[in-house]
Amino acid sequence: MPFQRRLRSKLCLFRFPQVYAAVGVHPGEAEAAPPDVTEALAELARHPKVVAIGEAGMDRYWEPAKSDPASRERQRRTFTQQLELAARLDKPIIIHQRDCAADLMEVVSAYRGRVRGVFHCFGESPEIARRVLELGFHISFTGTLTFKRNTALRELATALPADRVMVETDCPYMSPEPRRSERRCEPAFVVHTAEALAEARGVSLEEMARQTTENAVRLFGLRLLA
């Protein structure tokens, strides 16, 4: 299937007024992407319910990028193109990072003050979190926040500014406790991640839900139903 048709096939039909979308090329798709993805994404991003670019980023966990310098360079190029597009369209970007934090932060730092967004499925060190915040980005947590072994991640979550935290499903992956044994994560499960974040920060679930919703609305420019 041609690249642009593949992109369009993944867009929601927007039958539901509360549904919004982001458009982007995941680093895992960089191998199949054309040399320049900018205009194909720009065309899709013109839809009024497309509120962000992404998820985009870099990932060295999987082959071939794990061991192939040419593949890593393709990821970097595709990511940079999407950062440029986010700056041009004044849309936030959703950033994916795995096993390449130092290199990715170098790329993003070049866009300080030009691009805003969120580092999704965050699981990095306090130092990386500090740099993310300095760049003006948000930090979003998935079900990994609920895992018993992730004490350090919950400790990090307690130290973040309230207006920079969000929660997400990362469907179909990262099912939270107590639904971790289920093969597919569902959007409804995000309540368990919110509960873990609320407990770590010492606030009620209601307060956490209100705060994270406000953060998402502000970042993505959403208009939610009452």
- pLDDT beyond 80 at 219: yes
104 & 136 share domain: no
- What's the mean pLDDT in 86-96? 98
Instruction: Round the CA-based radius of gyration of the chain to a whole number and report it.
Output: 17
100 & 192 share domain: no
In this predicted model, what pLDDT tens digit does every residue of 170-207 receive, in sequence order? Answer: 989 889 999 888 889 999 999 999 999 999 999 999 99
- What's the mean pLDDT in 98-106? 96
- What's the mean pLDDT in 208-215? 97
The number of domains in the chain is 2
- pLDDT beyond 80 at 225: no
88 & 168 share domain: no
Domain containing 151 equals 129-226
In this predicted model, what pLDDT tens digit does every residue of 1-59 receive, in sequence order? Answer: 455 555 555 555 467 788 899 999 999 999 999 999 999 999 999 998 999 999 999 99
| pLDDT confidence of residue 10 | 53
CA dist 11 and 179 (Å) reads 28
| pLDDT confidence of residue 183 | 80
186 & 97 share domain: no
| pLDDT confidence of residue 1 | 41
Domain C-terminal end among 84, 115, 146: 115
Question: Cβ distance 60 to 66 under 8 Å?
Answer: yes
**Cβ-based neighbours of 206, under 8 Å, separated by 6 or more:** none
Question: Which of 83-92, 121-130, 168-177 is the least confident region?
Answer: 168-177
Count helices and strands (H / E) in the chain. 8, 6
